[in-house]
Amino acid sequence: MTLSVDLFFSFRSPYSYLALPKTLKLIANYDATVNLRPVYPLAVRVPGFFKRANPQFARYVVLDSSRVAKHDNIPFRFPRPDPIVQNMVTLEVAEHQPYIHRLTRLGAAAQLEGRSLVFVDTISRVLWDGTVKDWNEGDHLARAAEAAGFDLAAMDAAISADPDRYERIIADNEKAHAASGHWGVPTFVFENEPFFGQDRIELLIWRMESRGLTRRG
């Protein structure tokens, strides 16, 4: 019996990116599917979040995500440019957010086709693996999308024609994310139980095995 998991994911979250290799390994090794559901990052979902957070929060995330990447041997560098337009001195988040809106809507478009995990994996590597500077320029995203079997220009055109359709998908994802009992990303949800963080995948597998999860082949 194939078991299904929802994965709530943000393109700005280093831990979301770092969860992808283990997520792909999960579906390769086990009879399971992962429904990746993109959401906006806290900087957009919760206005003023960073101004209210302890100032050590962001510094710790930089330190910890970098060492997780080294430990897990995952190519890693914070995206250039940041998917969120934010003054990292004042922590002010700009009202206009062209990068994260485009990325998240693209993820929603891939979700509509039932192939958001493979799309997000290839796009996220362009942002996070350190091989690309100015990921938002040139054909970096287009080539990544093509490698995942998508036509980026067609996706952008569809989103431009009806952006509210994709915003509704994202809003539904965020509602389901909140209903799961957690607010952070990445959050895996299995049978209404949330597992927050890339370091909870083994625990997720343990829970799924108790519900009959089996290995492939």
Range list of β-strands (E), the chain: 3-9, 32-38, 187-190, 193-196
Q: Does residue 216 form part of some domain?
A: no
- The two tokens of residue 162 are 């009806």
pLDDT digits (tens, 9 = 90+) for 69-120: 999 999 999 999 999 998 888 888 898 999 999 999 999 999 999 999 999 9
Q: Does residue 61 form part of some domain?
A: yes
pTM of the model: 0.96
Give the domain range for residue 77.
3-210
* Average pLDDT taken over every residue of the chain: 96
Q: Does residue 105 form part of some domain?
A: yes
What domain count does the chain have? 1
Q: Does residue 135 form part of some domain?
A: yes
Q: Does residue 26 form part of some domain?
A: yes
pLDDT band at 35 (very low <50, low <70, confident <90, very high): very high
pLDDT digits (tens, 9 = 90+) for 45-78: 988 887 788 889 889 999 999 999 999 999 999 9
Task: Name the pairing type of β-strands 187-190 and 193-196.
Answer: antiparallel
Residues 6 or more apart from 19 whose CB is under 8 A from it?
7, 9, 186, 197, 198, 201
HSE, side-chain direction, 13 A CA sphere, residue 209:
11
Q: What is the pLDDT of residue 47?
A: 81
Contact 18, 10 (CB under 8 A): no
Q: Does residue 215 form part of some domain?
A: no
Would you tell me how many other CB atoms lie within 10 Å of the CB of residue 124? 22
Query: CATH number of the domain that 86 lies in?
Result: 3.40.30.10
| 124 flagged as catalytic | no
Question: What is residue 115's three-state secondary structure?
Answer: coil
Weakest-pLDDT range from 35-49, 135-149, 171-185 = 35-49
Q: What is the pLDDT of residue 157?
A: 98
Q: In angstroms, what CA-CA distances link 189 with 59, 81, 127, 150?
A: 28, 30, 25, 27
Spot the catalytic one: 10, 13, 65, 116.
Answer: 13
Question: What is residue 6's three-state secondary structure?
Answer: strand
What percent of the chain is modeled with pLDDT above 70? 100
Task: For 33, list phi and psi in degrees, rounded to 5.
Answer: -120, 150
Q: Does residue 164 form part of some domain?
A: yes
Q: Does residue 54 form part of some domain?
A: yes
Q: What is the pLDDT of residue 147?
A: 98
β-strand partners of 194: 189
Distance CA 3, CA 96 (A): 39
